[in-house]
């Protein structure tokens, strides 16, 4: 009887592994009889800590698929053929041991039985006790000392490292060990200005550009507070910006074009931008299209996503970048830097919402939304000029929820939506009211108008934006409603 197993893998979000895992996904799609589950996880404090998530992830998959065995494969691998060896695997745990040296944990087969479950409990515990130790090291220590497990040394070509195991035969599962190329990008590129030790305490680093203390220490906190910017109520800091232009330079714009990545972006022409005095702010990769139009407007690209690295720099414009992604532009002096927490935003909030909040904070209340197709006609595809599909980082249907979030943020603003047609003639889309009913505690006459609509006489428009988006600003906004 053939074993029933599922292939599982994880990758860390907002790191180059988002691109690496697509090769694994593509190879699995070519083998339809394989069932697989690939999961994106938020990164930990370093590359070693990211790899240390492996035992917990495998244990979670065993619980998710209680009737199936688990074939774990690293995200930077490729499956060339159906791994038939595991159809008749009769051990508890299987991995390849390289000679008399280390065990290679890039491919691991785990029987979903009681013995393997106990082993996984022990591995998770040992890894938690040694959070900075590589998972291969903890696996090696445990498997050599563990008695109640039937371990099988699997064939080399099921964990074949592309340049180290050339005598293993034709590879079935081939590993490319992207860590050799990417570890510095993941650990160092955005963290080069972080301190190593403060008051005798070793500083922990995170791939989101922040660094933190492992425990409270008054002297260390005081020292860090003097040199860096602290995240409220946390033992976490980030570097102060160097060579950044002040965002107040953007206060002169009373009208702003925001450009999305919808499929209509391919049809966009310069005649859409009739207001030459308005700022044109491109969401991430949409700058690729705007760069080709030779506009007379001032051009900006805004980037919050760290996984995009330094791909959003305008050819004839400026980059507006969040603090966690600014390391990718460390050699660019002419950049604008913003800190999401200054606007009560999380690092995973929509980039377009960040742009709206920044411009509203500077007094801009007139917005034209260009090529946000999912918001105007429910088309969730990206334009071809973006260079990758909208399914790259998740289900494209997630874009269908963006309209309500944008409308909420554009309350009290003048707003138009433009979706360029294939003929190059712009289709101006009138914003539709949100499909919501006023709750009982509100007076129906005072319900917030949808974005782009005139306020009712019973509720005059604000003369300008609320004070800087702090907790007080949000409290004032709540009181006024």
pLDDT in tens, 106-150: 999 999 999 999 999 999 988 888 765 778 888 988 988 888 899
The answer, yes or no, to whether residue 4 has pLDDT greater than 90, is: yes
CA 462 to chain centre: 35
> Measured between alpha carbons, how far is 161 from 163 in angstroms, rounded to an integer?
6
Q: How confident is the model at residue 391 (pLDDT cuts 50, 70, 90)?
A: confident
What is the per-residue pLDDT for 12?
Answer: 79
Residue 168: what pLDDT? 66
Rounded average pLDDT over 14-23: 79
pTM value? 0.48
Instruction: Tally Cβ neighbours within 10 Å of residue 327.
Output: 20
What distance in Å separates the CA atoms of residue 228 and residue 349, rounded to the nearest whole number? 23
Contacts for 395 with CB less than 8 Å, ≥ 6 apart = none
Percentage of residues in the chain with pLDDT exceeding 70?
75
CATH topology of domain 5-182: Spore Coat Polysaccharide Biosynthesis Protein SpsA; Chain A (3.90.550)
CA separation for the pair 137, 130 (Å, rounded) = 10
Q: What is the pLDDT of residue 134?
A: 74
- The neighbouring-strand residues paired with 258 are 281, 369
Q: Which of the residue ranges 330-334, 378-382, 423-427 would you say has the lowest mean pLDDT? A: 423-427
Distances in Å between the Cα of 477 and the Cα atoms of 70, 262, 365, 434, 472 are: 51, 31, 16, 19, 9
Q: Measured between alpha carbons, how far is 21 from 148 in angstroms, rounded to an integer?
A: 34
Q: Which CATH number fits domain 246-480: 1.20.1260, 1.10.3470, 3.90.1480, 1.10.940?
A: 3.90.1480
pLDDT of residue 453: 38
d(CA 111, CA 60) in angstroms, rounded, equals 14
Do the Cβ atoms of 103 and 152 come closer than 8 Å? no
**Rounded to an integer, what distance in angstroms lies between the CA atom of residue 263 and that of residue 380?**
8
| pLDDT: which is higher, 385 or 310 | 385
**What 3-state class would DSSP assign to 282?**
strand
Q: Residue 215's pLDDT band (boundaries 50, 70, 90)?
A: confident
What does the pLDDT look like over 52-88, one tens digit per residue?
689 999 999 999 999 999 999 998 899 999 999 999 9
* pLDDT for residue 1 is more than 80: no
Q: At what angle do helices 54-64 and 135-145 cross, to 10 degrees?
A: 70
Listed by start position, the domains of the chain span 5-182, 190-238, 246-480
* pLDDT, average across residues 461-479: 42
Tell me the C-alpha distance between 386 and 287, whole Å. 9
**Mean pLDDT to the nearest integer, 235-254:** 81
pLDDT at res. 43: 60
Average pLDDT, the chain: 80
In this prediction, residue 271 carries a pLDDT of 93
Is residue 184 over pLDDT 50? no
Q: Which of 286-295, 376-385, 445-454 has the lowest mean pLDDT?
A: 445-454
The Cα 119–Cα 164 span in angstroms is 29
pLDDT class of 452 with cuts at 50, 70, 90? very low
């Amino acid at each position: 009887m053939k074993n029933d197993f599922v292939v599982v893998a994880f990758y860390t979000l907002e790191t180059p592994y988002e691109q690496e895992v697509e090769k694994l996904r593509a190879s699995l799609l070519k083998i339809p009889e394989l069932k697989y589950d690939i999961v994106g996880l938020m990164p930990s404090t370093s590359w070693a800590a990211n790899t240390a998530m492996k035992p917990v992830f495998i244990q979670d998959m065993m619980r998710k698929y209680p009737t199936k065995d688990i074939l774990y494969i690293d995200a930077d691998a490729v499956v060339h053929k159906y791994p038939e060896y595991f159809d008749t695997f009769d051990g508890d745990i299987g991995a390849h041991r390289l000679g008399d040296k280390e065990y290679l944990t890039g491919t691991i087969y785990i029987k979903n039985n009681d013995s393997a479950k106990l082993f996984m409990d022990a591995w998770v515990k040992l890894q938690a006790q040694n959070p900075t130790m590589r998972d291969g090291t903890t696996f090696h220590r445990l498997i050599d000392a563990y008695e109640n497990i039937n371990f099988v040394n699997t064939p080399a070509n099921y964990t074949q490292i592309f340049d180290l195991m050339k005598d293993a035969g034709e590879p079935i599962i081939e590993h490319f060990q992207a860590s050799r190329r990417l570890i510095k990008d993941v650990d160092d590129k955005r963290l080069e200005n972080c301190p190593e030790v403060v008051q005798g305490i070793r500083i922990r680093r995170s791939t989101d550009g922040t660094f933190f203390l492992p425990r409270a220490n008054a002297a260390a906190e005081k020292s860090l507070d003097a040199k860096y910017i602290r995240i409220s109520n946390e033992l976490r800091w980030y570097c102060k910006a160097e060579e950044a232009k002040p965002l107040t330079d953007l206060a002169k714009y009373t009208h702003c074009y925001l450009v999305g990545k919808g499929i209509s972006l391919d049809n966009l022409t310069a005649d859409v931008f009739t207001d030459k005095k308005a700022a044109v702010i491109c969401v991430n990769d949409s700058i690729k299209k705007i760069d080709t139009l030779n506009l007379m407007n001032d051009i900006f690209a805004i980037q919050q996503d760290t996984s995009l690295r330094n791909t959003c720099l305008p050819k004839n414009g400026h980059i507006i970048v969040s603090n966690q992604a600014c390391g990718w532009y460390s050699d660019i002096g002419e950049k604008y830097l913003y800190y999401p927490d200054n606007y009560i935003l999380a690092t995973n909030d929509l980039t377009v919402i960040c742009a709206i909040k920044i411009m509203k904070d500077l007094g801009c209340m007139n917005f034209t939304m260009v090529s946000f197709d999912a918001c105007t006609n429910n088309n969730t595809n990206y334009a071809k000029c973006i260079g990758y599909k909208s399914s790259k980082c998740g289900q494209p249907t997630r874009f269908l929820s963006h309209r309500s979030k944008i409308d909420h943020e554009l309350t009290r603003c003048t707003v138009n939506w433009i979706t360029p047609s294939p003929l190059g003639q712009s289709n101006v889309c009138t914003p539709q009211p949100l499909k919501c009913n006023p709750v009982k505690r509100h007076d129906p006459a005072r319900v917030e108008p949808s974005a782009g609509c005139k306020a009712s006489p019973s509720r005059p428009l604000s003369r300008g934006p609320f004070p800087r988006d702090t907790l007080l600003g949000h409290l004032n906004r709540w009181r006024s409603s």
